[in-house]
């Protein structure tokens, strides 16, 4: 995906996400999930019928995943593409349950072989969580509200961060804050460092390139070249904090939050920085591909993810 396409997509996504959040936040208070379900299904059905680029992008994802994994049953068909759109509708409805307190910790299975949950409370300095638009990141973010009570700072590229924070506050999300990081200037780096020292944690998506260009690197993902952001790994190196991966997949109707240690430390010299970051991004892309096999229909990037020239 070239820079022009990324900017065009991200600009639409930024406006759409804010409007959708305002709509759903108000609608769920007035109507509730049961009444809102057919409305959201209708919206996603319209998106499926008339979103030619979105359908093409999902077919490309399913084709790449099937070829890369050698699992022919994952190859795209009309029904499998439609199922992925409907999975997105279900994820939207689950987001509403999260922010209205209807999805408790007892309804979530935590897979945490490295003891990262314990680190949320026992470590004096915060760490970084890297997620992707696979499954339902909202459930992961809501852990800060559902029981962990740890300050979670979600790093985003949207200019509407303060508006989102206001809406989150209205929904009762007191331990979650969005921070705009379009540019990693000295002031932002100082703020993030101070938050880590206070024991707060950072969360960032590892699969979306920034709105206004920014640093990215193309690596092999599911057998083809795709652009990933350098941001998470650049931040980890500059802030010298451990990096953990998080994902939340709906398996057999129940959410699994998966936490795993990924990097104790990201280090480089000035000469080798680009090479080191590329290596971490490639390892992350490989791990993300493995996670896709756990929930093949829960990949929610509805835009051309792979480089057009590949």
Q: Write the pLDDT tens digit of every residue in 236-276.
A: 999 999 999 999 999 998 899 999 999 999 999 889 999 99
pLDDT interval class at 1 (50, 70, 90)? very low
The whole-chain average pLDDT of the chain stands at 83
What is the pLDDT, as a whole number, of residue 58? 98
In a domain, 301, yes or no: no
What is the pLDDT, as a whole number, of residue 215? 83
Given a cut of 80, is residue 282 above it in pLDDT?
yes
Given a cut of 90, is residue 50 above it in pLDDT?
yes
Given a cut of 60, is residue 160 above it in pLDDT?
no
CB atoms within 10 A of CB 21: 18
What is the pLDDT, as a whole number, of residue 35? 79
- For residues 112 and 21, the model is more confident at 112
In a domain, 108, yes or no: yes
In a domain, 309, yes or no: no
Query: Which of 202-206, 207-211, 301-305 has the lowest average pLDDT?
Result: 207-211
What is the pLDDT, as a whole number, of residue 6? 42
pLDDT interval class at 97 (50, 70, 90)? confident
In a domain, 98, yes or no: yes
Given a cut of 90, is residue 100 above it in pLDDT?
no
In a domain, 248, yes or no: yes
In a domain, 40, yes or no: yes
What is the pLDDT, as a whole number, of residue 117? 87
CB atoms within 10 A of CB 13: 17
Looking at the structure of the chain, the number of domains it has is: 1
What is the pLDDT, as a whole number, of residue 141? 64
Domain holding 80, by residue range, is 3-294
What is the pLDDT, as a whole number, of residue 20? 60
pTM over 0.75: yes
d(CA 269, CA 61): 36
Q: Give the mean pLDDT of 39-60.
A: 92
What is the pLDDT, as a whole number, of residue 105? 72
Q: Give the mean pLDDT of 191-219.
A: 86
pLDDT interval class at 302 (50, 70, 90)? very high
In a domain, 299, yes or no: no
In a domain, 264, yes or no: yes
Given a cut of 50, is residue 161 above it in pLDDT?
no
- For residues 84 and 253, the model is more confident at 84
């Amino acid at each position: 995906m070239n820079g022009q396409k990324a900017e065009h997509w991200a600009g639409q996504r930024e406006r759409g996400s804010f409007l959708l959040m305002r709509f759903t936040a108000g609608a769920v208070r007035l109507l509730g999930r049961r009444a809102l379900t057919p409305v959201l299904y209708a919206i996603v059905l319209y998106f499926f019928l008339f979103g030619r680029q979105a359908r093409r992008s999902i077919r490309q994802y399913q084709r790449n995943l099937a070829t890369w994994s050698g699992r022919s049953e994952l190859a795209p068909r009309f029904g499998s593409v439609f199922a992925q759109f409907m999975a997105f509708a279900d994820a939207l409805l689950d987001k509403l349950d999260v922010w209205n307190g209807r999805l408790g910790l007892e309804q979530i299975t935590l897979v945490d072989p490295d003891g990262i949950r314990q680190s949320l409370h026992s470590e004096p300095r915060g760490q970084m969580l890297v997620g992707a638009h696979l499954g339902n990141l909202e459930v992961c973010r809501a852990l800060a509200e559902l029981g962990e009570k740890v300050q979670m700072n979600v790093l985003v590229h949207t200019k509407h961060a303060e508006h989102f924070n206001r809406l989150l506050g209205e929904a009762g999300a007191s331990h979650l804050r969005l921070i705009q990081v379009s540019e990693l200037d000295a002031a932002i780096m100082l703020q993030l460092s101070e938050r880590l020292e206070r024991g707060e944690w950072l969360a960032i998506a590892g699969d979306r390139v920034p709105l206004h260009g920014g640093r990215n690197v193309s690596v092999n993902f599911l057998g083809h070249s795709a652009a990933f952001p350098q941001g998470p790994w650049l931040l980890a190196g500059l802030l010298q904090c451990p990096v953990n991966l998080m994902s939340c997949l709906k398996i057999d109707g129940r959410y699994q939050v998966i936490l795993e240690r990924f990097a104790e430390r990201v280090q480089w010299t000035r000469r080798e920085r680009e090479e080191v970051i590329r290596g971490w991004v490639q390892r992350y892309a490989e791990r993300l591909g493995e996670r896709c096999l756990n929930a093949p229909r829960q990949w929610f990037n509805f835009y051309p993810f792979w480089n057009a020239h590949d």
